[in-house]
Amino acid sequence: MSDFDHFGWSLFVGGVTVVSLLGCLALLIFASRRKVMAGDNTTGHVWDGDLRELNNPLPRWWMWLFVITVVFAAIYLALYPGLGAKAGALGWTSVGQYERERERAAAELAPMFARFGAMTIEKLAADPQAHAIGERLFANNCSTCHGSDARGGLGFPNLTDGDWLWGGTPEDIITTITDGREGIMPPMAEAVGSAEDVKNVANYVLSLSGSPHDKIAAQLGKPKFVVCAACHGADGKGNTALGAPNLTDRIWLHGWGEDLIVRTITNGWQNSMPAQKTRLGDEQIRVLAAYVWSLSRGGAAGVAAAAPAASAAR
């Protein structure tokens, strides 16, 4: 696509636009002129025995409407960008418009976010207004991957189950939203050994969560699991510092079963959570993080109900 940034494309687009406008005017002038094609003011075409096509010119009001449209287009192209890379006399850009609208919205919402800024994540999660705003932020920025109900899908984490690849504290969630995450499971077949060894390790991984597996193969695969323990831990419970999943909880990001785990060990996986700091401000990220944090705790109502219980326990 970088080829379309060449200045020649700008000249091409501008040229085609200008020629199109001039062509429209020429067509209107040509169509407005009456040319007698037969003595009875018809084109000479006859259908169904007596149905004749008249050779009347375009109505004047119709022609002038088209002329006004072409003139309007010419004025618009002079004021706004449309002729390739030409900026237009007003200097308007969609990026500039977007930035101005963002600044205006930020100024209007500043008092509300100032109130939110003085609240902890726990209080934000229980606040109905903050929760509603967080829900809307999630729908606009996160639901494409995690789903409108935040339950994720194959390859996309479920945010409602309390299982966190990179940690589930409010601070961890803020970091994840702000900077994004890159989760990489490298191909490990060569490190594990033969194809039979890979199959045995897959059965051992299944055994960690009590999933159906071949017990003999699992016992043979246990010593080979040492190459996986560097990330997933000797007990297979994962490592949030590396984004390594817990293999003991029956929560499978890419699905489960011997064949799929063999494929995972052989080919690896790579997941990417894009950073949102260029799209959202710090205040919005805090509100969004509070909403996401609340999802695994029953939402705003669940957080609010848990708060008195926690205070009483202290």
More confident residue, 63 or 293: 293
Per residue in 184-200, pLDDT tens? 999 999 999 999 999 99
Q: What is the DSSP string of 143-159?
A: HHHH-TTS--BTTB--S
> What is the average pLDDT across 289-296?
94
Other residues' Cβ atoms within 10 Å of the Cβ of residue 124: 26
Whether 29 has a pLDDT exceeding 90, the answer reads no
Q: What are phi and psi of 242, to 5 degrees?
A: -110, -5
In the chain, what percentage of residues exceed pLDDT 90? 57
Select from 171, 153, 297 the least CA-distant residue to 240.
Answer: 171
Burial (CB < 10 A; 0-12, 13-18, 19+), residue 145, is middle
The overall longest dimension of the chain from CA atoms, in Å, is 105
pTM for the whole structure: 0.70
Burial (CB < 10 A; 0-12, 13-18, 19+), residue 191, is middle
Helices 282-295 and 299-313: crossing angle, nearest 10°?
Answer: 80
**Cα 120 from Cα 130, distance rounded (Å):** 12
Say which amino acid occupies 206.
Answer: L
Q: Which domains does the chain have, with CATH numbers?
A: 8-27+42-92 (no CATH), 99-180+275-313 (1.10.760.10), 183-273 (1.10.760.10)
